[in-house]
């Protein structure tokens, strides 16, 4: 059992086992994400028919729950930590709720639209409840120096889980894959419950890597209300915690780059190379494989050369490779370069959160982790309409990789302004 009894984890031991267990939070995302992306829209259409507006409204429930529950759960976990209960009960509750939703979802269409909506609320409710507390747990349970390795473990297990469960979905079919996913989520919850023990944090406790205590800690900052999120936004924008604005902006730009690829690559590939939509999936597989191979080295790089330097290295390679992608003519070469871009993408992705959370005192980690996650969601929300407008302006998807290179280059400039402690 991993036993941490002080406000900050001990620096003198290398917590690789701890990092591996925390990384199961990434496996949770890898289990749930691909299955939901592939099958939920189909089940919603089966329940509603080809009423596209209604389908869109039902699918938007996920985003509504994200905006409501991610900040609420982050603030609630801060409050629970101050009271000595810790974040883990909230995380476990989210896991169990998501497992129940996954087990029930394939059968929900039998109960019509109401059954599908109820299953969506249960499933996505569980997913969004655990998000910000899991992020905060990384900082609570892993010493500052090794947090990049912990987030590397999260990203690695997420990519592996995505590949495995996409294959299971094709081999076993939807219902069996969802049931296996539900059992896997329960196994992750059981592992967290048995293997993790949270530190007992005092209200004034600070992270091991933080040089000074933030004296503005008040009860209001951890109240389970959206005033906490407002305070977190002000903290990020006002510069109260050094470097937070820059990392916030860089995270937004990195997510914007990723969102551009995931949304528009199919259209770009079919237009540019004249290949079948089925063949374009090779590019997505290449991206997933690049994530698998890059995640753990990205974490090691963050430990060895520093998070800021690791992020800059990844963003520089991304930018160069994305420019090269604009000019290559072979789809095989495109797939190889996409794997390289993805491996480089893991470097800022893995190291951004440890850099973001470094100056944050323990009693505020939940709500600020929620802010970090919402900055990523903002990149997705803004990216699709922005890029769509630009493609309309150009009259083509041909410039997609150049757009991505601009976003990653801007992220490089932003991160270069950060001074890591």
CA distance 70 to 64: 10
Q: Which CATH number describes the domain made up of 236-415? A: 1.20.1250.20
Alpha carbon dihedral 133, 92, 26, 68, in 10-degree steps, equals -50
Tokens (6 digits) for 148: 């990049």
Q: What is the pLDDT of residue 240?
A: 58
Alpha helices in 274-362 (DSSP H): 277-305, 307-327, 331-357
CA distance 15 to 35: 31
CB-based contact 205:45 (threshold 8 Å): no
3-state secondary structure of 197: strand
- Nearest 5 degrees, angle CA 165-CA 135-CA 250? 95
Domains 2-201 and 236-415 share a fold: yes
Task: Give Cα separations from 391 to 265, 284, 384, 388, 402 (angstroms).
Answer: 12, 21, 10, 5, 12
CA distance 252 to 249: 5
Among candidate residues 298, 344, 41, the one with its CA nearest the CA of residue 149: 298
Tokens (6 digits) for 128: 């969004």
CB-based contact 35:178 (threshold 8 Å): yes
- Nearest 5 degrees, angle CA 206-CA 157-CA 70? 50
CB-based contact 140:206 (threshold 8 Å): no
At which residue do the structure tokens 């949304």 appear? Answer: 263
CA distance 298 to 348: 8
Q: What is the pLDDT of residue 293?
A: 92
Structural domain 2-201, CATH architecture: Up-down Bundle (1.20)
CA distance 241 to 84: 25
CA 69 to centroid of chain Cα atoms? 15
Tokens (6 digits) for 184: 């896997």
CB-based contact 217:204 (threshold 8 Å): yes
Alpha carbon dihedral 287, 289, 295, 297, in 10-degree steps, equals -120
Q: What is the pLDDT of residue 279?
A: 73
pLDDT tens per residue across all 421 residues of the chain: 333 334 444 444 558 888 889 889 889 988 888 777 667 777 777 777 766 667 767 777 877 888 888 888 888 888 888 888 888 999 999 999 999 999 998 888 888 888 888 988 999 999 999 998 998 888 888 888 888 888 899 989 988 888 888 788 778 887 888 899 999 999 999 999 998 887 765 444 434 443 333 334 434 444 444 555 566 566 555 555 556 778 788 888 998 898 888 778 878 888 888 877 667 778 888 888 898 899 999 999 998 998 899 999 999 999 999 999 999 988 889 999 999 999 999 999 999 888 888 777 777 778 778 878 887 777 767 777 888 888 888 888 899 999 999 999 999 999 988 876 6
Helix (H) or strand (E) holding 111: none
* Counts for the chain of helices (H) and strands (E), in that order: 15, 2
pTM comes to 0.76
3-state secondary structure of 196: strand
Q: What is the DSSP letter of 417?
A: T
Positive or negative: CA dihedral 189, 192, 195, 197: negative
Q: What is the pLDDT of residue 161?
A: 87
At which residue do the structure tokens 């969601």 appear? Answer: 377
Give Cβ neighbours of residue 229 (< 8 Å, ≥ 6 apart). 71, 74, 75, 367, 370, 371
CB-based contact 65:121 (threshold 8 Å): yes
Tokens (6 digits) for 222: 């951890």
Domain ranges in the chain are 2-201, 236-415
Among candidate residues 137, 142, 138, the one with its CA nearest the CA of residue 13: 142
CA distance 379 to 251: 8
């Amino acid at each position: 059992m991993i036993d941490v009894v002080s406000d900050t984890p001990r620096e003198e031991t290398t917590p690789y086992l701890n990092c591996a267990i925390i990384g199961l939070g990434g496996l949770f995302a890898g289990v749930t994400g691909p299955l939901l992306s592939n099958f939920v829209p189909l089940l919603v259409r089966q329940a509603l028919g080809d009423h596209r507006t209604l389908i869109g409204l039902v699918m938007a429930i996920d985003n509504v729950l994200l905006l409501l529950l991610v900040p609420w759960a982050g603030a609630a976990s801060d409050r629970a930590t101050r009271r000595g209960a810790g974040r883990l009960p909230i995380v476990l509750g989210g896991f169990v709720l998501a497992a129940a939703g996954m087990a029930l979802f394939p059968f929900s269409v039998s109960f019509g639209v109401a059954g599908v909506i109820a299953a969506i609320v249960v499933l996505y409710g569980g997913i969004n409840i655990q998000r910000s507390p899991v992020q905060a747990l990384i900082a609570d349970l892993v010493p500052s120096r090794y947090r990049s390795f912990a987030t590397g473990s999260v990203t690695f297990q997420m990519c592996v889980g995505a590949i495995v469960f996409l294959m299971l979905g094709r081999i076993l079919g939807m219902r069996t894959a969802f049931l296996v996913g539900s059992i896997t989520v329960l196994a992750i919850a059981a592992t967290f419950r048995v293997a993790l023990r949270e530190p007992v944090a005092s209200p004034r406790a600070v992270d091991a890597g933080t040089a000074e205590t933030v004296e503005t800690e008040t009860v209001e900052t951890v109240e389970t209300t959206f005033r906490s999120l407002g305070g977190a936004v002000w903290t990020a924008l006002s510069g109260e915690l050094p470097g937070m604005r820059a990392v916030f902006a860089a995270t937004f730009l990195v997510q914007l780059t990723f969102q551009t690829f995931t949304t528009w690559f199919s259209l770009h590939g079919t237009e540019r190379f004249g290949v079948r939509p089925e063949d374009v999936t090779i590019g997505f597989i290449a991206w997933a494989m690049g994530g698998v191979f890059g995640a753990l080295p990205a974490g090691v790089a963050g430990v060895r050369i520093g998070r800021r330097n690791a992020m800059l290295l990844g963003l520089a390679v991304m930018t160069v490779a994305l420019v090269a992608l604009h000019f290559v003519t072979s789809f095989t070469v495109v797939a190889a370069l996409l794997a390289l871009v993805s491996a480089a993408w893991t470097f800022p992705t893995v190291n951004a959160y440890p850099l973001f959370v470094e100056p944050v005192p323990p009693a505020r980690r939940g709500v600020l982790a929620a802010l970090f996650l919402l900055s990523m969601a903002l990149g997705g929300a803004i990216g699709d309409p922005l890029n769509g407008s630009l493609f309309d302006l150009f009259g083509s998807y041909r410039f997609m990789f150049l757009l991505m290179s601009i976003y990653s280059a801007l992220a490089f400039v932003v991160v270069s302004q950060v001074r890591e402690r």
